[in-house]
Structure 1
Amino acid sequence: MSSTSLLPEGFHDRLPPYADVAARLEARILGAAFAHGYERVDPPLAEFEAGLASRLKATRARDAVRFVDPVSQRTLAIRPDITAQVGRIVATRMAHHPRPVRLSYAGPVLKLRASELDPEREARQIGCELIGLDSVAAAQEIASLAVEALTAAGVENISIDFTLPDLVDILAAGPFPVSADQIEALKDRLDAKDAGAVAALAPPYLPLIEAAGPFEAAHDRLCAFDAGGALTSRLDGLWAIAQSLKGKVALTLDPTERHGFEYQSWIGFSIFAGGVRGEIGRGGSYTVMHESGAEEPAIGFSLYADAIVDSGLAPIERRRLFVPLGTDRALATGMRGEGWVTVAALDARDTPEAQLCTHVLMDGAPRALQT
């Protein structure tokens, strides 16, 4: 194979029928979102780096591919995530819109570099953002919508793992003080479940490593740990959110999970499905920054279409009807009106097998091919 026909590392073509599967997955997720009032926005693939990096509190465009725009001579960034772009839209062009604003989106994102666990640099991101609220009711709507949208797309055996992204900050400012120069190291070691390092840095935080697992048991352990009540409002809210999902999905809790939740505020969650090694989505609360310096609460979720499609979770729906040469076109038109995909023979040598058809039109009716 010629080197000019190869793709860079971390990129790939999506061929039939999987490109169609991905398109149907996206349409069903966005359809479920639209039914709940989430209207679609479509931001550009690239924009000014400075605007992209500053729109969400506590985030940076460190994963963005950058280049100099030959027109403006300013640095542009190809988006590594669409959430920040939605934040820009609601803080500028939709700043006058009544709150909360419900928006959905879908599109490609590009990472500067990949990891060993996730070697792909290009991905398809689908999501919903609710801007103007990050209340328990808003979190319940967002989490329930993520589950409903995935179910509508044919994804089964869904589970959600909750976390509390600002947990250490709250505790460090209250009952368990930690010096400012040690907070990041403590968060990192808690995330890694490194009990030895946590004991050396801040022994009172050790119980947090054990407060992970099935939701109710983990929640009970966190409540017992929170003797001073610093986390009461968060734990009560988390319980209410979990109760709204009980019986629909499996629920777990890992209060010290940090990777990927750098800009989330009081709640975060990862979405998993049976048969997939990693997560298929992520969500949580965050803060949108306005140019005036004002901060606006928000909450949302993003789903990773590639992980879902590549794992075979989205069903392949290939029902193709072979239309023999000379068939009345009106008959084929009628079959398409009934939901069939018709593939017309263009010469006498064409066959249903060559066109990957599942049925053939015979005597005016579909007939299944023998397998």
Structure 2
Amino acid sequence: MTQPNDLLPEGLEDRLPLEAARITAAMRACLAVLESHGYDRVRPPLLEFEASLAGRMAGVAGGEGRAMFRFVDPASLRTLALRSDMTPQVGRIAATSLRNAPRPLRLAYSGDTVVIKASQLDPARERLQLGAELIGADTVAAASEAVMLAIEALKAAGLTGISVDFTLPDLVDTLAEKAFPLASEQIEAVRRELDTKDAGGLRSAGGAAYLPLLYATGPFDKALAALRDVDAGGALKSRLDGLEAIATSIGDAARITLDPTERHGFEYQSWFGFTLYAEGLRRAAGRGGTYRIAGTDEPATGFTLYLDRLADVAPQPEAAPLVWLPLGYDRAAATALRASGARTLAQLAEGEDPVALGCTHILEGDALVELAPRA
């Protein structure tokens, strides 16, 4: 019987065996891909001093620091924070403990994050985050590697119908500087109207010159051609050439689209950002792009995958046979079974029912015998 104290806080939930198995299988598959490409795993702590973590998150995560749980450390009497994003922690590691490591530095990570308040679109307050960071490079080659690595990881996790949506996070800033000048007080208004795709609002904000950007979206080749027409004075040529080179490296590994003014989730990216989608997922499977590490301004490129979401559509991993070990079983035979990949369940008392406990086989001496399922 459920007791009132057994209820979980809003936005938190238990992961039961089948779902936990999918999450674990997806995590292992993705990490195996990252490791195979030379990305070494790091494990930052769940807690850090608030001043350090919030400072780095304000610099690289668009003010995410406001979403963190905070409390006082009884040992130091300083304020601690529970991480809401792992990317800034990886940046801190690169800037401190691994500051003398050769560049480019390739790091991978996976761990839980928690936010104080979730959005209506994503009510979960606890998320399992997995990603890769290429520290010391934000070039076209680095971006191409990050996108392809993310696609490969999603496929290894069993996802299909993968698509990638490119964006140019600093597009307005770049155009406002020379090609389509804007006063400083106009820039944010123009960004806001581009976000809402409001042509009338864009004109009212003084951004009439930016109207063609609203229509430079969709399938990559068509959208890129439309964006090149906007490129007044060559202000965007190097960026657009970079997008084309990244798309070429992807080839037919994923469907590619372009939305050059998309900013949601790209508050800290520099010249390039991308969002990953997969068949069956209502929300993004992950995001990535180029950025600068707060504190050192070192260039970096990376991505984050949302493992909890992936588990919603990832295939259920095939369970290994569960073998019943009756009282007095042969321990050497049981050890050999586990070494071969089987799972075992040892009987503890008389009267236990192996079939009810999910066993598919029984160990009789050193022989494996299949159990008849109950009708």
After superposition, where does 1:135-150 map in structure 2 within 5 Å? 135-150=139-154
| Equivalent position of 2:122 in the other structure | 118
| Equivalent position of 1:315 in the other structure | 316
Q: Is the 8 A contact 1:211 1:255 kept in 2?
A: yes
| Equivalent position of 2:16 in the other structure | 15
SS of the residue 2:243 aligns to: helix
| Equivalent position of 2:356 in the other structure | 354
Query: What CA deviation, in whole Å up to 9, does each residue of 1:273-310 have, x standing for no partner?
Result: 111100111101110133xxx4210010111111111x
Query: What CA deviation, in whole Å up to 9, does each residue of 1:86-124 have, x standing for no partner?
Result: 111111121111111111111111112111111011111
Q: Is the 8 A contact 2:324 2:359 kept in 1?
A: no
162 and 352 in structure 1: CA distance in 2 versus 1, 3 angstrom threshold: farther
Q: 1:325 and 1:301 mapped to 2: Cα distance? A: 48
After superposition, where does 1:210-359 map in structure 2 within 5 Å? 210-290=215-295, 294-309=296-311, 311-323=312-324, 325-326=326-327, 327-347=329-349, 349-359=351-361
SS of the residue 1:241 aligns to: helix
Q: Is the 8 A contact 2:359 2:371 kept in 1?
A: no
| Equivalent position of 2:182 in the other structure | 178
TM-score (normalizing by structure 2): 0.92
Query: What CA deviation, in whole Å up to 9, does each residue of 1:53-93 have, x standing for no partner?
Result: 33364533122222233333333221110001111111112
Q: Is the 8 A contact 1:360 1:369 kept in 2?
A: no
TM-score (normalizing by structure 1): 0.93
Query: What CA deviation, in whole Å up to 9, does each residue of 1:203-234 have, x standing for no partner?
Result: 11111111111111111111121142111111
Which one-letter code corresponds to 2:286 in the other structure?
G
Q: Is the 8 A contact 2:179 2:232 kept in 1?
A: no
32 and 205 in structure 1: CA distance in 2 versus 1, 3 angstrom threshold: same
| Equivalent position of 1:204 in the other structure | 209
| Equivalent position of 1:157 in the other structure | 161
Q: How many Å apart are 1:235 and its aligned residue?
A: 0.6
Query: What CA deviation, in whole Å up to 9, does each residue of 1:247-284 have, x standing for no partner?
Result: 11111111111011000001111111111100111101
SS of the residue 2:128 aligns to: strand
After superposition, where does 1:124-139 map in structure 2 within 5 Å? 124-139=128-143
Query: What CA deviation, in whole Å up to 9, does each residue of 1:106-153 have, x standing for no partner?
Result: 111111211111101111101110110000111111111111122222
Q: 1:102 and 1:5 mapped to 2: Cα distance? A: 42
Instruction: Tell me which moved more, 91-100 or 128-137.
Output: 91-100
Given the alignment, which residue of 190, 197, 210 partners 1:193? 197
Q: Is the 8 A contact 1:211 1:254 kept in 2?
A: yes
Which one-letter code corresponds to 1:192 in the other structure?
T
Q: 1:358 and 1:240 mapped to 2: Cα distance? A: 52
Whether 2:39 is the aligned partner of 1:38: answer yes
Whether 2:109 is the aligned partner of 1:105: answer yes
Q: Is the 8 A contact 2:172 2:187 kept in 1?
A: yes
118 and 233 in structure 1: CA distance in 2 versus 1, 3 angstrom threshold: same
SS of the residue 2:127 aligns to: strand
Instruction: Tell me which moved more, 51-60 or 157-166.
Output: 51-60
361 and 242 in structure 1: CA distance in 2 versus 1, 3 angstrom threshold: farther
* Identity value in percent: 50
Q: How many Å apart are 1:312 and its aligned residue?
A: 3.1
SS of the residue 1:85 aligns to: helix
Which one-letter code corresponds to 1:306 in the other structure?
D
Instruction: Tell me which moved more, 280-289 or 59-68.
Output: 59-68
Kindly tell me the number of residue pairs found equivalent between the two proteins: 367
Q: 2:80 and 2:348 mapped to 1: Cα distance? A: 48
What RMSD, in angstroms, separates the aligned Cα atoms of the two structures?
2.0
5+ unaligned residues in a row in structure 2: which ranges? Answer: none
Query: What CA deviation, in whole Å up to 9, does each residue of 1:37-68 have, x standing for no partner?
Result: 11111111121222223336453312222223
Q: Is the 8 A contact 1:319 1:358 kept in 2?
A: no
Instruction: Tell me which moved more, 43-52 or 5-14.
Output: 43-52
